[in-house]
């Protein structure tokens, strides 16, 4: 199984005082692991370098059969403008609740000395 996902990346500080949002599109075979990497700022140069202090919220997950389909779908989603991505996020193709049951759109990440990070899923 392969997954395409969209993160809502929210800037914590912007000079104007307003929070800026952007949508980050990615693909993976392990959605929880990949989301954890985004939260910790590893294996994602774009988010780590350009948006290090941002809040990353998983808002869309789509299941696909294989990696080729995943890469093709990711390419399609990246071409969409912001409004089109919002429509996709609120569409029937969004299987976030199916892929990660009771995922309240928030994962907490706690540092645990010897074992690295622990992830907890907050229910809605």
* pLDDT tens digits, one per residue of 1-52: 899 999 988 876 656 666 678 899 999 998 888 888 887 778 877 777 777 6
β partners of residue 8? 23, 57
Cα separation, 84 vs 93, in Å, equals: 13
Which token pair is 106? 């928030």
Question: In the chain, which ranges are continuous DSSP H helix?
Answer: 31-40, 45-50, 67-79, 82-89, 96-99
Domain ranges of the chain: 2-121
Residues 35 and 48: beta-carbon distance below 8 Å: no
- How many angstroms separate the CA atoms of 116 and 32, rounded? 15
Q: How confident is residue 102, by pLDDT bands cut at 50, 70 and 90?
A: low
Whether pTM exceeds 0.85: no
pLDDT tens readout for residues 12-23: 665 666 667 889
């Amino acid at each position: 199984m392969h997954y395409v996902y969209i993160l809502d990346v929210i800037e914590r500080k912007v000079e104007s005082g307003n929070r800026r949002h952007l949508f980050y599109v990615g693909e993976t075979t392990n959605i929880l692991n990949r989301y954890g990497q985004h939260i910790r700022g590893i294996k994602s140069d774009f988010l780590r370098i350009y948006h290090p202090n941002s809040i990353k919220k998983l808002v869309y997950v789509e299941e696909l059969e294989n990696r080729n389909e995943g890469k093709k779908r990711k390419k399609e989603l990246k071409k969409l403008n912001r409004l089109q991505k919002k429509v996709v996020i609120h569409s029937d193709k969004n299987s976030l609740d199916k892929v990660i049951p009771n995922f309240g759109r928030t994962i907490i990440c706690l540092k645990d000395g010897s074992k690295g990070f622990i992830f907890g899923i907050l229910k809605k």
